[in-house]
Amino acid sequence: MTASAPLVAVCQFAPTASRESNRARIAGLIADAAARGARVIVLPEYSSFFVDPMDDSLAANAEPVGGEFVQALQSLASEHGAVIVAGMVETADAGRVHNTLVAVSDAGVQAVYRKQHLYDAFGQTESDWIQAGELGQASVFDVDGIRFGMMTCYDLRFPEVARTLVDAGADALIVPAEWVRGPLKEHHWSTLLTARAIESTAYVIAADHPAPIGVGLSQVIDPQGVAVAGVSAGEGIALASVDPGLIARTREANPVLRLRRYAVVPQH
């Protein structure tokens, strides 16, 4: 069966400490993106709940996968005929939480990813509040013949995460983020997104928080490293097609996936 070229959307918005307000904002963004034809709609990291700086309210507002946040996403997926990817604060152990991504369709949860590399850098310590996900099977799901893989924000600085996804057959890498602003951080964000696309010969679909906390610059990058759609610093939506023909042509011309000579071995 020949794959189609599904339209994907990145939705850049600023989640708050109100779960109800976040769900309402998400509903509006999804309706807008779906009305433009999006089949896969990507929202940022911490879409269910966010507070800066992090504190005990994270645990107080965490939910299980399958709780009201995911139920709301499933209802929206059913209403709009789309697969929705969003970051959420998931209940974990000992007063901490997981920084979790869920991919949700009308049939329920299609994939779950718990952030593995926590943001203990640039003067911040996400690990004070977040429990890292276990290393294991790559989190992937399929839409219209395209395989999508999920990773989160700081994972972008570790190319092995992208490598495990493409080794699992991913054609496109989804990167919800809260990429914190700082010196050269916009440059790091765009450079690393482009590098992951080029080295993986895969699309990269990245949704960030807007300024002033995030850098914004949500974007879709094609397998040759070209940004084909994007948002600037404020809230907004960008859409682009994931073209299986371009993926195939890029991988035929530059067969890095089958020429690689090193295996990735997780360190437990």
153 tagged catalytic: yes
- First CA to last CA distance, the chain: 39
Any residues with CB less than 8 A from the CB of 264 and at least 6 apart, and which? 160, 163, 164, 167
Active-site annotation holder among 45, 63, 90, 178: 45
11 tagged catalytic: no
Any residues with CB less than 8 A from the CB of 1 and at least 6 apart, and which? 145
20 tagged catalytic: no
As a whole number of angstroms, the distance between CA 81 and CA 90 comes to 25
Active-site annotation holder among 11, 90, 153, 178: 153
As a whole number of angstroms, the distance between CA 6 and CA 2 comes to 12
For the chain, helix, strand, coil in percent to 5 are 30, 30, 40
Where on the phi/psi map is residue 145: left (φ > 0), alpha (ψ -120 to 50), or beta?
A: left
> ω before 53 within 30° of 0 (cis)?
yes
Active-site annotation holder among 11, 63, 90, 115: 115
Enzyme catalytic residues: 45, 115, 153
